[in-house]
Chains A and B, each alone.
Chain A
Amino acid sequence: MTTDAAPAALSGARWTGFLQAMLLPVVFVVAWQLLALTFPPESPAPSPAHVVRTFVDLVTTGGLVQATAQSLGRVVIGFLFALISGVALGALMGSSERVKDNLDPIIESFRPIAPMALLPMAILWFGTGTAPSLFIVAYAAFFPLLLNTIHAVSRVDRKLVLAGMTMGIPRSTILSRIILPAALPGVLLGARLAMGVAWTAIIAAELAVGAKSGVGGTSGGIGQMMFVFYAYSVDLNGIVVCMIVVGVVALLIDRLFRFAEHRLMPWRHR
């Protein structure tokens, strides 16, 4: 009866929804542009038009793509360190009560220390190049990975493990065929959280390494680029471009991991 009317009504509703969704962002951008027009032309205040122009400039000549790639590369390497150590330690702590009891006090006392607090020491240990940023990223990503792995491994159905043992399956096979698949959702959740934290940490680390050692001793990255725009060329439009790129990359990372969760664990569709 309503089969004919339904699609039309649906698309109408969708249009209204779309317009509603766009309303506030559009108003925001227009208001920002109008406000920017009232400033004198030599003012450094950013405006949407200038941000777009700066973005094109930075992509074509300013090395924005290279800087983003460099930061992403650091995040991936630091994340891999954290992934290996966090998952290995997490599997150990999740499967053995004794190991967990002994290590828990240490882990819990390091956890509330903000990653950035270690940056000054990381500069003393590793200089001002890539290494301190890697250290900060790995430290930041370590805890979500570790805690989620512990949680996931300790929640693996004991009956499955016992059944495997009863049938005389070797321990390594139990680990690879029973415990790891069962713990995978938790580990992936930890990986997604860790990657988000890691991306924030690399921006902070690059920014602070730049701020504390000047431009000479450092080696690029998008956080460093923001710092140069802040301290040397006073280019607010460039800073806003970098902020938007940081946001877009964070969004893409998040989507990528959610996609991986769907692909690797189709049984967990909700």
Chain B
Amino acid sequence: MPNPDDATPLTAGSPLSASLDEAEGVPPAAADTAAPADVRIRLAHRRWFIALRSFAAFIAVWYLMFLWNGNPIQLPSPLRVANAIWQLAIDGELFEHAGISTSRLVVALIVATVVAVPLGFAMGLYRTADKLIDPMVELLRPISGIAWIPLALFIFGVGNVLPVFIMVYVAFFPLLLNTVSGVRNVDPRLVSAARTMGVHGWPLMRQVIVPGALPTIMVGFRLAFAGAWAAVIAAELIGAPSGLGFAIEWYRQLLMSPKVFGFIAIIGVVGYLCDLALRALQRRLTPWAEGTGLS
């Protein structure tokens, strides 16, 4: 049975989307703006309070497991981990590795976009291009980026190129497939209407097709990011002399578990912040897109 505390403040239509949006600071939906301001503030407070309470419980469980396990190398105490993160931040090591990983990520996403999006437009607009290229894409796509690591290690050696290559490969497919489907699913009535009014060629592309396809492309971009972020950790773990993935493995070998946990947390935080930034970008670039958000 729902308790009265829960029943009152939920105003938005779907509980799932409402809770996701609240948690991520999306501007409240239309139904929410109708609610009085103080209710909204109380709702926000309640969410903060619940989140804090959950984290407190989580840390308490962690601490109990630490006491029960009694092996600080396997499971360090939360306090030691917080201290390690603080130390890493003071030393600047944290920002150094995080900066290296994110700059690789940015380079890889730019390269993947420059290659995949034009190709996707060609495949979406011209049937022949699609028929020629699609089989090759479908042959390569099932081979995960991770499986390329040994071969790429031979070709590029340990260094910057390997993680970037793996990320470009991983990011390529969601971007390409979403661009193709975005271009193909542009409302044909809009295209016909524009043609009827004498819009052709480049203006048609710029004014109708690109805006129509952009929401789907942005979803592809976020999928590409998620895949690339998971892949870069694996690639750095195995074949890079720097970066977050390298750092966790390095401190694991030194058995400095608090720093390993610290870097694991940083990986989560950086991934989360990048996703927030991409959501903001998505809203900036495609404010007309409704309901294309992921998850």
Interface residues of A (CB under 8 A from B): 17, 20-25, 28, 44, 97-98, 100-106, 108-110, 112-121, 123-125, 147, 150-151, 154-155, 199-200, 203-204, 207-208, 211-212, 226-227, 229-230, 236, 239-240, 242-244, 246-248, 250-251, 254
Contacts and interface: CB of A to CB of B under 8 A. Distances in A.
Contact of A103 (B54, B145, B232, B260): B54
Contacts of B149: 204, 207
Contact of B147 (A28, A226, A229): A226
Interface centre among B149, B253, B261, B267 (most CB of A within 10 A): B149
Given A124-B74, A207-B149, 17 more contacts: A22-B135, A23-B132, A98-B6, A108-B23, A112-B267, A113-B264, A113-B265, A113-B267, A114-B232, A116-B233, A120-B260, A203-B147, A236-B154, A239-B154, A242-B147, A246-B144, A247-B139
Contacts of A24: 132-133, 135-136
B86 interface: no
Given A117-B233, A117-B264, A119-B237, A243 B154 contact: no
Interface residues of B, number: 66
Contact of A124 (B55, B147, B252): B252
B274 to A, nearest CB: 8
Contacts of B6: 97-98
A115 B230 contact: yes
B133 A203 contact: no
Contact of A114 (B140, B142, B230): B230
Contacts of B8: none
A243 B143 contact: yes
Nearest to B130: A20
Contacts of B14: 154-155
A106 B165 CA distance: 33
B285 interface: no
Interface of B: 2-3, 6, 10, 14-16, 19, 23, 47, 50-51, 53-55, 58, 73-74, 128, 131-136, 139-140, 142-151, 153-154, 229-230, 232-234, 237-238, 244-245, 248-249, 251-253, 257, 260-261, 263-265, 267-269, 271-272, 275, 295
A203 B54 CA distance: 34
Interface of chain B, helix or strand or loop or mixed?
helix
Nearest to A199: B144
Given A106-B58, A113-B268, A243 B234 contact: no
Q: Which 5 A-B pairs have the closest CB atoms?
A: A112-B271, A120-B252, A247-B143, A230-B150, A105-B51
A113 B295 CA distance: 16
Contacts of A101: 19, 47, 50
B186 to A, nearest CB: 21
A119 B268 CA distance: 14
Given A208-B238, A230-B153, A112 B54 contact: no
Q: Chain B CB within 10 Å — which of A21, A105, A114 has the most?
A: A114
A133 B295 CA distance: 27
A208 B234 contact: yes
Nearest to A210: B238
A216 to B, nearest CB: 16
A89 B187 CA distance: 40
A193 to B, nearest CB: 11
Interface centre among B144, B244, B268 (most CB of A within 10 A): B144
